[in-house]
Every structure is written in C-alpha cells, then in structure tokens.
A and B are shown apart, each in its own frame.
Chain A
C-alpha cells in the first residue's frame, strides 16, 4: 500500500517554518542564555587565546611542552621507553605513535627529550659496552610542506640530520644518502605530524616511498619515532600498507573523565577558583580522607567525605560535552565561567521548579549549584554544510591543513572557487586561516584544533572519514 506523504511533507515544512528561529541578529549572549556555545565562538576564543599565548611564549622563550603539565599516558611512556631500549640493544625498528587530533600527541612527543634524560640517569651505572649510547638530545621535527617528488623527500630527510641535500637527483642519490646517514652518529629523530607528509597530489606517492625507504634502511642505526593522526594513519595503512614496515604502533585516545578532571582542576587553580592545597591533597592519596581547604567556597561537607572538588559536577559535564578533548574542555570551562551570569539567568527558571526537591540535598550540592553549568555546544553549523564542504573538511582534517592552491588541485577546481569555499568554512569557525600577505592562493587553512573531535565525528557519520 502506497502512502501519499505530500500533505505531511507540507505540514512538516509549515511546522519547521513556524518553529524556525526568526531572522534576527543573534549574539553570543543569546546563545549563552540558552546554555549553548557556537562553533564560531569556540573558534574565536581559541584564536584569541592562541595569539595571547604566542606573545607570552615569545617573551618568556620557555619550551612549549613542560613535564609539569603532562599527565596520564603512563603505559605509552613505558612502551616508548621499551622501544628506545630495544634500539639501544641493536633491535632498532621504526615506531609510530598514533592518536586522534587534539588528544595531545605533540605534547607526548615533547616529553621524549626528558624521557631520554631519565633513561640516561637510570642506566648510567648499569650501562655496558654492548648497549648503544643514547644521544644527548632527540630531534623533534614537523614538516611544513609535503614532498611531491623523490628529491623533495631526500631533502626532508637531510633536514633531519642537518645535512645539505644533493644538488641534483641521480640514480644513486638514495643509496648515497642512506650510506651518508648511516655514517653519522646515532640519533633519535621524532617526526611529528607525519600526516603533513602525505598529500593527495601527483608525485606524493613516490616521495613517500622514497622517504620510507631511507627510514627503513637507517632504522638500525638511528631511532625513528613517528607521530601520526589516527585517520591519516588509517589512510596510510590502507594505501601504503605502512603497518607492514612499522613494528611498534603505540596508540592513545582522548582523556578519560579522571584525567580530564585533573587537567581542569589545574586550570581552576590557575584561575584562583580553588586553592593550591586542593591539588596537593588530591595528589597525595594517603591524605584523601582529610577535609580539604577551599578558598572562598562555602563547603560544609561531612568529615567522612573524600576531598570533593566543588566543581566536580562541572568537570563531569565537561568530559561528556568535550568527549575528553583537552583544548575544547579548557575553552568550554573558561567560556562558561565568563558567561556565568547569562547561563544562570536561563537556568534559574529551570532550577526554581525543582527547588523544593533540592532543599533536602547535601551542602556540597548547594555549593556546586553556585558554580555555573557548562555550556553545551551548538554544532548547527556542521549539518548546514553541503557535501562539497564536508569533503573539503575531511581533506583539511587528514592533511593537517591545506593551502588554497592545494585545495584547488585536490578538488580539481579553480583557485578562486577554493578560496571562496574555504573562506566560508572559516566564517563558520570550522577552520582557521593563516593569511599569506603575498598571494591569496597561499593562505593556509586548518581545522580549529578545539573542534577536531566534533568535526571528525561529524565527518565519520557522514561517510567522509573512515576508521
């Protein structure tokens, strides 16, 4: 039996039009009042934070990754230590660390120099002559441009060893380079953002093969550790069978509730919302039953309670909303705290309904009620993207960013069309632009790091990215 849905389609259209938001200028505060934060706002927050951070870092000239801020990943640290030890014992193989974008892969790789130092100290006494000496420091590199021919690939490898690339490519160039590299003192080379070496352009396949050959032929002498994004790794595995050449693949995902809470607690301490004592007590497991001191908090919990963070509910909410993405969680927390008044205004009506029920709750709950709710994400910009936009996002995501000219090449369209399309996505806050002052075709666009998880999930759902 056929059902004619024309009437219902019209009815549904009418209902949608009726309930659709009217065309008025929407402000950030409007969204915040609804307890929401748009993707565009997150992108803006991220950009403003990054520019501030860059200025501070330039002034202080501190190393970007410190071990103080590094948490969790214990088993992965152990695995990478084993890999380095295996290499020292002349069983060197290429290793890769695979993690989704924004899960802290670069931060993890940034720990390798301090890891080397700790291995050195631990094994100074036990060292034997058979064990390969550890290099004084590791080299961490990330390539800016993908190679598009064998000569580019050779040049990239030469940069790792601070060597001069050969002026011209000959039949023996690869062999010569391998011999030269194997004669250098042993080094530990970490290549971050391996996905940036992969580009969907003609010539890149041969370049990757050349690059892989040199690495494979020098793996016994030098310790190679590669860091790659999860979906790009999947693509490399499917197309180049990269897993056949890499023996140790270490993986990790976004942070779990506990780990994320630990990061956010530090953030709360930095903001002065909870005291330093809390962090110290939290880390000291033996003192967990002692009542914590909290600055400015009206916390009257019973003596037998553990050290309950007054923001515990918010931290759980943060994990659910951010799905363990640390950068997103930090931005959401900051935004929610900044727009506390707006959110409280909207939630006060809801909470008043349950006031009677809540009156019997414990004091800790009253305390957390004083804290703000965490804004939820308004991701309506993503479903409004067309198929072509999603394909662009997928390629930008997997490549770790694209120039306008590269985008035009990949999608076989004009540079002007690509420029307009990318500008549209940037206006939606889905990608961030790094403008070139010389040529608009050289503008570089990359996925807003805080939104990487949300965008990747949407792309997977829409069949544009594959696990």
Chain B
C-alpha cells in the first residue's frame, strides 16, 4: 500500500503544474523557432532560387533536431525522472518498437530512415506509389508530392519505403527528360538523328552543360516497320519538365515535318 502511495506521489511530482507549464513553454518556443526558420528558408528561396533544394532539404533535419532536443530536454532537464522511471520508459519504447508493425509507428520509423538515408529529398521529382511529382514536404510519417496536374498527394512513408522509388533528379536541379518519336522506315535516319539533336539543342530550356543523346531504334507496329528516335536531354529545372517535353515535341516535329518525313500532304511548319 505504501509502495503504491509512493509511486502515485512520485508520478504527481512528475506531472506537477510547473513542469507541465515549462514543457508547454518549451514546445511553444520550439514551434516559434521552427516557424521563424521556415520563414527564413522561404526568404532564402526567394533570394537564391538556384539553391532552393539545399534550403528545402535542410528543414526536415532542423525540425527533427529541434523536436528531439525538446523531448530530451523535457525528460532530462525538466521532468528529471527517477532511474526506475527511465528504465520503465526504455521498456515502453522497446514495446513501441516491438509494435512497429502498427501503421503510425511504422510510418514514423520509415520517415526517420528516409531522413537518415534519403532515397529522395525535398525538391526531387519522384514516383511514389504510382504518383509522379515533386517532393514538397517530408514529414515524420508522410511525404507530400505535388503532381504536374497540381494535385497534392500524401504518401505514407512506410508505403514509400516498401515499393521501388524512381528519383528523376537525385538532388540536382536539372533532370533527364526522354521523348520518343516514330518515323516511317523509308526516312533518312541519319538526317532524322541530326535534326532531332539540333532541334533539342535549340530549346531554351535545354541544360546545355550535359549531353544530348539521340538513340535510333526500330519497332513493328500495326503491320508497319517503324524507326524510333529517342531524345534524351536534360532540362534546366525539374519544374519545367513538362514544358520542356512539349517544347522538344514542337521543335522536333516541326523539323521532321519541314524535312517531309511524314507524308506528302502535311503542311510545313516553322
């Protein structure tokens, strides 16, 4: 009876009003700090957009660090529990880890793994669970994507780690874009390759510091032999991917049409 009374007393001491207020105050400070950091990072993004990926990817780490610091300081500095209690907490954490098969805990652990050993970062163009888009936010439990249709997609981190992830730019601003063209077999393939390369080079969105690759292939479709021209080029900024693809299509198709590659009835374009 005495033991249980002592335990209750110890517990009441831990959750005393002062301590709760201190912890809340600490959380408030941490929250304000994070808001300030986020605001500053946004300003940096505006001032130096070239380095936006660096600023964006640093925020999840900062947030993790701030909240971990809050948790540790709250336990060690404010609550200052008895050794037995620490042991009990460690035991509880072990149970939580044991129960990590539960979805929320699983997502949080997955989020932690993603932050430590990132298969993608904020600003990358990735395919997650069948959705392709830019990673706009990386949280403990979920990853937020913005697709080119301007939809925001939330993918649970556990889901992201479970499946294969395709990352188009891996932390760089430029990204390879692949556009395929089909041509009738009788077309001069050397001229087609040359035109495709030059037309791609003419696009103002082409990142010229990296090579433009044009591959020739062939396929049999609907009873016709066709040759395929695959253009692989880098776009200056991942956000321009679709615009770039469309631009390459416009330019290469115009070049092909002007060279009369398709048929006699088509109208030359400029």
Contacts and interface: CB of A to CB of B under 8 A. Distances in A.
Nearest to A383: B46
B255 interface: yes
Contact of B50 (A201, A203, A205, A461): A461
B204 interface: yes
Contact of B236 (A202, A234, A464): A464
Interface in A228-247: 234-235, 238-239
Contacts of A462: 49-50
Contact of B198 (A2, A205, A234, A409): A205
B251 A461 contact: no
Interface residues of B, number: 34
A268 to B, nearest CB: 35
A211 B35 CA distance: 58
Contacts of B139: 2
Given A461-B49, A466-B207, A466-B208, 19 more contacts: A2-B139, A3-B38, A8-B35, A8-B39, A205-B201, A238-B209, A238-B210, A239-B208, A383-B46, A391-B204, A410-B202, A410-B204, A461-B47, A461-B48, A461-B50, A463-B49, A463-B50, A463-B236, A463-B237
A395 interface: yes
Contact of B34 (A3, A238, A460, A466): A3
A412 interface: yes
Q: Size band of the A side of the interface?
A: 20 to 34
18 contacts: A3-B31, A8-B39, A201-B202, A202-B195, A202-B198, A202-B199, A202-B255, A205-B198, A206-B198, A238-B209, A238-B210, A391-B205, A411-B204, A412-B250, A462-B50, A463-B173, A464-B236, A466-B209
A200 interface: yes
Closest 3 CB pairs of A and B: A463-B50, A238-B209, A200-B202
A43 B40 CA distance: 33
Interface of A: 1-3, 5, 8, 12, 200-203, 205-206, 234-235, 238-239, 383, 391, 394-395, 409-412, 460-464, 466
B204 A395 contact: yes
A239 B197 CA distance: 11
B27 to A, nearest CB: 9
Interface in B63-84: 63, 67
A206 B199 CA distance: 12
B247 interface: yes
B208 A5 contact: no
A24 B198 CA distance: 49
Contacts of B237: 463
A5 B49 contact: no
A256 B140 CA distance: 50
Contacts of A2: 139
Contacts of A3: 31, 34-35, 38
Interface string B205-230: 10111100000000000000000000
A467 to B, nearest CB: 9
A202 B50 contact: no
A412 B250 CA distance: 8
B208 A235 contact: yes
A238 B240 CA distance: 21
Nearest to A466: B209
A58 B236 CA distance: 44
B49 A200 contact: no
Contacts of A463: 49-50, 173, 236-237
Contacts of B46: 383
Interface in B243-257: 247, 250-251, 255
Chain A CB within 10 Å, residue with most, of B67, B208, B250: B208
Contacts of A411: 204
Given A200-B202, A462-B50, A463-B236, A412 B208 contact: no
Nearest to A234: B209
Interface in B135-150: 139-140
Contacts of A238: 208-210
Contacts of B49: 461-463
Nearest to A201: B202
Nearest to B246: A412
Contacts of B50: 460-463
A206 B46 CA distance: 40
